Amino acid sequence: MSAAKQISTHVAILGGGPAGYMAALRAAQLGTSTVIIEEREIGGVCLNRGCIPTKALLRTSEAAYLIDNKSRELGIHASITSLDLSASIARKDRVVKNLRMGLEQLLANNKVHIIKGKGEVQNSRTITVKSETEQTLVSCEKLIIATGSEPSIPDIPGIKLDGVMSSDEALELTDIPESLVIIGAGAIGMEFASLFNSLHAKVTIVEFQNTILPQEDREIASELLKIMKRQGIKFRLSSQVKEIRKPREGGEVKEAGESREPREAREPREAREAREPREPREAWEVRKGEKGLEVIIMDEKGKETLIDTQRVLIAAGRKPRSMTPDIAALGVKVKEGAIVVNENMETNIKGVYAAGDVIGGRLLAHLAFAEGKIAVQNALGTRSTLNYDAVPSCVYTNPEISSVGLSEEEAKRRGFEVKVGRFDFRKNGRALCLGERDGLVKIITDKNTGTILGGQILGAYASELISEITLASALGVKAHMLADMIHPHPALSEAVMEACVDALVGLHS
């Protein structure tokens, strides 16, 4: 390796994910020299192995679901005779590549210098970057740590067996498992459950807590649970996986998610398929003939159940990548695995900032965007803070969930006298026209002032509808303003208006 190159810059950013590249772009807009240090692809997990590729594949499963479940209602007698998953994967890869190339060009146009390699912090103003071919010494005045997060892998016997996969590996499958056990009912697990269920896999979700999506409003999560059960997804809540193992020779076989019973006691496959007709699995390129895996789960009462499955997906959440040796040696304060920052995104070391997943909290790409901007603006002398009560979140299940601000439970915990407004999509003209009856809009208001504290949406295009409530929550808008605002008709957004109307019932104007 040749002698180390030396680069001086005003701002050095360790990590090229959402927080890192947004901080770099904002620094460039403010006229400051900026370097991004990234070991892998620009765009981080979100663009390359998370948000974007998952949503690209969810589009495939959405199309399959519509044909399978909605076409007859719309007067179209159609069925899917085959599914080319490799073509869907190739499309996903094109989407990712196009976005990554666009991002790289945007950074180049803004004169952001990207250094590829593993960055090691020497001190608050020096980072060493090592690649296969060279070493670079970066000197900076301000350092922003944006190293993101990594999968949280539970300590389960058998977790490293063939057939147990992470979300990264699930995004690269070339065929569909006939059965799949997903460990974790957070956003990642629920989205993959929707995806594989729509592609005819038998999906079972195992969750330690007694609810799905524990960070979401309980009423909304409960409604989604009912819908996904109707779609055929099995849930084992208040349960934990004790072991994953290869099938034992001579053991009995059973369907994923069902109680183990002798082969002779099971209903013949032909009878089941006659009773519940479905497209032939051969047409879907389903992985067949594998012995697969056995998953031993235990519920809260200590009862054990065995589930036979072809694959297991680990979706137990993510954790900040903060405990690298160089960051530890730097002396940055870390609490519960996350770097501690103040409201300006500055760490306990002057001139060192952190943003995105590495500081913990809600691990959302769009929140990382905002934190990256706040960090660099403060680093460059422009005091900025972030309103965490106005950060939307979305779960791209079928149907979607979106939320912003305070849930009903959180508003009550904070001492508000709460007035809730609701409106069901089954009463919305546009929803009925689309055949998307499931779900509701829920508005949380302060009963004494009528101020919108937050809102939750369960239904089609919830991720597109939440921005209206986000704006209202951020500005402290009162419910009567959205109730009186003219919405297009027919439109799904009218459900937001009607929920606000409902929140005003019985209140004096």
Domain of residue 182, CATH code = 3.50.50.60
- pLDDT exceeds cutoff 50 at 221: yes
**What is the number of structural domains in the chain?**
3
283 secondary structure, DSSP code: G
CATH of the domain at 478: 3.30.390.30
> CA-CA distance, 220 to 222, in Å (whole number)?
5
Question: Do the domain assignments include residue 509?
Answer: no
Does some domain include residue 159? no
Domain boundary among 386, 404, 437: 386
Q: Are 334 and 340 in contact (CB under 8 A)?
A: yes
pLDDT-derived band of residue 1, with 50, 70 and 90 as boundaries?
low
- Contact residues for 308 (Cβ-Cβ < 8 A; gap 6+): 179, 247, 253, 254, 255, 256, 260, 292, 293, 294, 295
- Establish if 19 belongs to a structural domain: yes
Total count of residues recorded for the chain? 509
Q: Is 160 exposed, middle or buried (0-12, 13-18, 19+ CB in 10 A)?
A: exposed
290 vs 308: CA distance, rounded Å: 11
pTM: 0.89
Query: Domain check: are 290 and 309 in the same one?
Result: yes
Q: What is the mean pLDDT of residues 124-128?
A: 94
**264-267 contacts at long range (C-beta below 8 A, 24 or more positions apart):** none
Residue 271 has pLDDT above 70, yes or no: no
> Per residue in 167-193, is it b (16+ CB within 10 Å) or e — as a string?
beebbebeebbbbbbbbbbbbbbbbbb
Name the band, by pLDDT with cuts 50, 70 and 90, for residue 507. confident
Rounded to a whole number of angstroms, the distance between the first and last alpha carbons of the chain is 74
Find, among 148, 151, 168, the residue nearest to 36 by Cα.
Answer: 148
Domain boundary among 270, 294, 314: 314
> Is pLDDT of 371 > 70?
yes
Mean pLDDT of the chain: 90
Segment 287-300 mean pLDDT:
79
Q: 365, 386, 407: which is the final residue of a domain?
A: 386
Other residues' Cβ atoms within 10 Å of the Cβ of residue 408? 19
75 plus 140 within the same structural domain: yes
Can you count the helices (H) and strands (E) in the chain? Answer: 15, 26
Q: Are 174 and 305 in the same domain?
A: yes
- The boundaries of the domain holding residue 275 are 164-314
Digit-coded pLDDT (tens) for 308-332: 999 999 999 899 998 788 988 999 9
Domain assignment of residue 158, yes or no:
no
Determine what percent of the chain is predicted with pLDDT higher than 70: 91
Q: Give me the mean pLDDT over the 277-300 stretch.
A: 63
User: What count of Cα atoms within 13 Å lies in the side-chain half-sphere of residue 318?
Assistant: 27
Catalytic sites, residue numbers: 489
**Residue 36 pLDDT exceeds 90:** yes
In this predicted structure, the answer to whether residue 506 has a pLDDT above a threshold of 80 is: no
Percent of the chain that is helix, strand, coil (3-state, to 5): 35, 25, 40
Cis peptide before 399 (omega within 30 of 0): yes
Rounded to 5 degrees, φ, ψ at 308 are: -90, 135
Q: How confident is the model at residue 80 (pLDDT cuts 50, 70, 90)?
A: confident
Q: Give the pLDDT band (50/70/90) at residue 174.
A: confident
